[in-house]
Amino acid sequence: MTTTTVSRRAKREIVAPPFQWSAILERAEAAGEPDWIIELRQQAWAIYESMPMPNQRDEAWRRTDYSHINWNSAGHYAIPNGATVEHIPAENRAPLIGDEQGGLIAWVDGKLVHRELNEKITKQGVIFTDLHTAIREHGDLVKKHLFQKALKASEGKFAALHAAAWTHGLFIYVPRNVVVELPLHSIFYSEQTGATLGHVLIVLEEGAQATILHEYLSPEGDNHTSYIGGTELLVGRAANLRYVSLQSWGHNMYEFSHGRGHVSRDGQLDWIVGSMGSKLTKSFMQISLDEQGAWGRMSGMFFADGTQLLDHDTYQTHSAPHTTSDLLFKAALKDEAHSVWRGNIRVMPGAIKTDGFQANRNMLMSDTARADSIPGLEIEADDVRCTHAATVGQMEEEYIFYLMTRGVPRIEAERLFLNGYFWDVLERIPFEDVQNRLLADVDRKLLGMHTAKNK
């Protein structure tokens, strides 16, 4: 008689996507990229090649199994198919406040399809364009910031791949003391199967101020698709950036991304993320408070259903005294959805009198949903105040019952409760229409549960 030991979950081999340096170089040359950009790509590619694919033995990936991704479809550059801006849903293109917006820029499958900027903002010297144009027209500015201070290829396998193979990018530059009154709006839309690797580079000089909404979207599809992204937010001294980033990918999308914000003396970065879509999202986000008086806040709302996995690794890094960071991430999970949040507040030596806070709340709406919440503190300075709070709870019947006793049907009571749950994050998004759009997304997902139940 033989005994066989069967591991509870057979692990698939993790294979690397089929990117090749020759194809990257060919694209870069075809786009007429200057040598210094190609060098940046090549350095990143060398780092990429030197690193193994991350797997569940790595602490940051322990809870995230992406081995089911089909790189045969998700690992080749998506080929733009002549789509125009009209392919992007109209509600996402709508002006953010009344009938005005400062500017709208949009890509489909990595190809720039639309760019408009309010004349007044143009006159203020604001640059609002795609990264390739910026490299051509403002090479020195881009050179100073792209993959320099914030995001580095060495941060991880996907960061390196992104830095080597990026396909398109948004570049926003707000000069010294310029206040952009109207919000700027940018959209990365993916329609074709394959990979897009988008970059966001936003630079606010000293005393500048801007509010920016960036959206990631794709329709539902059958073939695995990937987005390997990078975001760099550079907030100068006493500058103020409010950056709202919303993700509503189709359920066939795998996202691997790295985002970094740096805040200089007395600057403020208010970073809000909302994720509803994707099959799997693995996102690393960091706010670095580099100089005295810097303030940074990260807020997140996540609603996952089906077998979605939304995984966020956040860092609040205090490198200087008298800096403040605040994080509030809220997730709701139904069906067999899974969320992971791993958050770290890091206080570097000498960063005294800092104040760091993080709170992660998770609401499970089914017995099979799961949330992992792992807060962490690494404090290397004295005289700091750092606190964290993490909870995982059910959607309590007590609340639903209370609302129902006033005549509100169950589904409406759950909707009210869930909208209320997300409200403290939603109210940080300064556009009512966008808030309503997100609430409508929440409703749609919630109703999906009830249709499934009634089947």
Which of 189, 256, 329, 422 is in the footprint of another protein by CB under 8 A?
422
408 binding another protein? (CB under 8 A): yes
Which of 372, 424, 433, 441 is in the footprint of another protein by CB under 8 A?
424
Which of 23, 412, 440, 452 is in the footprint of another protein by CB under 8 A?
412
* Under 8 Å between Cβ of 182 and 121: yes
Q: How far apart are CA 266 and CA 240, in angstroms?
A: 9
What is the largest distance, in Å, between two alpha-carbon atoms of the chain? 83
Amino acid (one-letter) located at 115: R
Q: 442, exposed or middle or buried, with CB in 10 Å at 0-12, 13-18, 19+?
A: buried
393 binding another protein? (CB under 8 A): no
**Smaller CB separation from another protein, 309 or 418:** 418
**Smaller CB separation from another protein, 377 or 408:** 408
Q: What's 77's DSSP letter?
A: B
Minimal distance in Å, beta carbon 243 to another protein? 23
Provide the 3-class DSSP secondary structure of residue 383. Answer: coil
Backbone angles phi, psi at 169, to 5 degrees: -160, 160
Minimal distance in Å, beta carbon 447 to another protein? 16
**Smaller CB separation from another protein, 98 or 407:** 407
Q: How far apart are CA 289 and CA 264, in angstroms?
A: 7
Minimal distance in Å, beta carbon 30 to another protein? 50
Provide the 3-class DSSP secondary structure of residue 334. Answer: coil
Q: Vertex 447, ends 443 and 452: CA angle to 5°?
A: 155
CA distances (Å), 220 to each of 117, 191, 225, 268, 278, in order?
A: 30, 9, 10, 36, 9
43 binding another protein? (CB under 8 A): no
* Under 8 Å between Cβ of 280 and 64: yes
331 binding another protein? (CB under 8 A): no
Which of 406, 453, 454, 455 is in the footprint of another protein by CB under 8 A?
406
Which of 25, 94, 141, 404 is in the footprint of another protein by CB under 8 A?
404
Minimal distance in Å, beta carbon 334 to another protein? 18
438 binding another protein? (CB under 8 A): no
Q: Any idea how long the chain is?
A: 455
Which of 401, 432, 450, 452 is in the footprint of another protein by CB under 8 A?
401
The site string for another protein over 62-101 (x = CB under 8 A, - otherwise) reads: ----------------------------------------
**Smaller CB separation from another protein, 336 or 441:** 441
Nearest Cα to Cα of residue 66 among 253, 247, 215: 253
Q: How far apart are CA 192 and CA 350, in angstroms?
A: 49
423 binding another protein? (CB under 8 A): yes
* Under 8 Å between Cβ of 33 and 132: yes
Which of 409, 440, 444, 450 is in the footprint of another protein by CB under 8 A?
409
Q: How far apart are CA 328 and CA 359, in angstroms?
A: 5
How is residue 361 written in tokens? Answer: 């709340």
**Number of residues lying near another protein (CB under 8 A):** 24
36 binding another protein? (CB under 8 A): no
How is residue 103 written in tokens? Answer: 């500017």
**Smaller CB separation from another protein, 43 or 419:** 419
Nearest Cα to Cα of residue 163 among 127, 187, 131, 202: 131
399 binding another protein? (CB under 8 A): yes
357 binding another protein? (CB under 8 A): no
Which of 2, 5, 90, 407 is in the footprint of another protein by CB under 8 A?
407
Minimal distance in Å, beta carbon 444 to another protein? 18
How is residue 429 written in tokens? Answer: 């998004």
405 binding another protein? (CB under 8 A): yes
302 binding another protein? (CB under 8 A): no
Which residues of the shown chain bind another protein in the complex (CB under 8 A)?
Answer: 396-399, 401-410, 412-413, 416-417, 419-424
